[in-house]
């Protein structure tokens, strides 16, 4: 089973990707992983992407698409398929990937859309706190620490990302609406999009998500 998991910033893609990966034995891959692997490996595509990034420019879709396809093709352990997070970000990427993978075992089977209201996204993003030492993530509203500002695991101070504020969230959501929502609209007539109400608690979301994928 090959899956794209999509949704706005703070919709829970990362959290549920980990659970989907374990439950269905999939390769969980983000575009960040693919870029880093290509750049670290000094591949032709990696060097091309790095040249754009160093100039502060967006990497062209053509390079991104080729990197994604090559990375998936060269996975040593194919497992039961892939779970791709952060791709496709644009309609052009979606169409190009579809063309490149049509009739192959890399063709996408399911799009999971994590659907969350703006108010809930704001609560999640502005309330998020991270421990730099052990990487544990908390939320002052939904997952507070026992001692305010201190990690339960290792006792280190928690930090808040500079862009975890309402103003930055609006910018990111606007970008998502302009670029990624058309991707969802493109796939919906194909009957492979499953919309998940991700505004509920993790305990409520997971059984629904798991059952949706089993179908």
89 flagged as catalytic? yes
Q: Exactly one of 66, 123, 124, 128 is catalytic; name it.
A: 128
Q: Exactly one of 36, 78, 133, 161 is catalytic; name it.
A: 161
161 flagged as catalytic? yes
128 flagged as catalytic? yes
Instruction: Label residue 7 exposed, middle or buried (CB < 10 Å: 0-12, 13-18, 19+).
Output: buried
172 flagged as catalytic? yes
How far out from the chain centre does Cα 12 lie? Answer: 9
Q: Exactly one of 13, 66, 110, 124 is catalytic; name it.
A: 13
Q: Exactly one of 89, 110, 123, 129 is catalytic; name it.
A: 89
Q: Exactly one of 172, 195, 200, 210 is catalytic; name it.
A: 172
123 flagged as catalytic? no
Q: What is the set of active-site residues?
A: 13, 89, 128, 161, 172
């Amino acid at each position: 089973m090959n899956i794209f998991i999509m949704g706005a910033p703070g919709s829970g893609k990362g959290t549920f990707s980990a659970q989907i990966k374990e439950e269905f034995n999939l390769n969980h891959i983000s575009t960040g992983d693919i870029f880093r692997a290509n750049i670290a490996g000094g591949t032709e595509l990696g060097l091309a992407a790095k040249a754009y990034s160093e100039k502060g420019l967006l990497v062209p879709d053509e390079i991104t698409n080729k990197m994604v396809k090559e990375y998936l093709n060269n996975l040593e352990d194919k497992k039961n398929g892939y779970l791709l997070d952060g791709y496709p970000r644009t309609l052009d990427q979606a169409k190009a990937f579809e063309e490149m993978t049509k009739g192959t075992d890399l063709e996408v089977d399911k799009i999971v859309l994590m659907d969350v209201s703006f108010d809930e996204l704001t609560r999640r993003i502005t309330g998020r706190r991270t421990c730099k030492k052990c990487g544990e993530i908390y939320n002052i509203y939904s997952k507070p620490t026992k001692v305010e500002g201190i990690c339960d695991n290792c006792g280190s101070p928690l930090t808040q990302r500079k862009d975890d504020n309402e103003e930055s969230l609006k910018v990111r959501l606007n970008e998502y609406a302009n670029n990624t929502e058309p991707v969802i609209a493109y796939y919906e007539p194909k009957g492979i999009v499953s919309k998940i109400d991700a505004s509920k608690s993790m305990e409520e979301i997971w059984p629904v998500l798991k059952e949706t994928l089993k179908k």
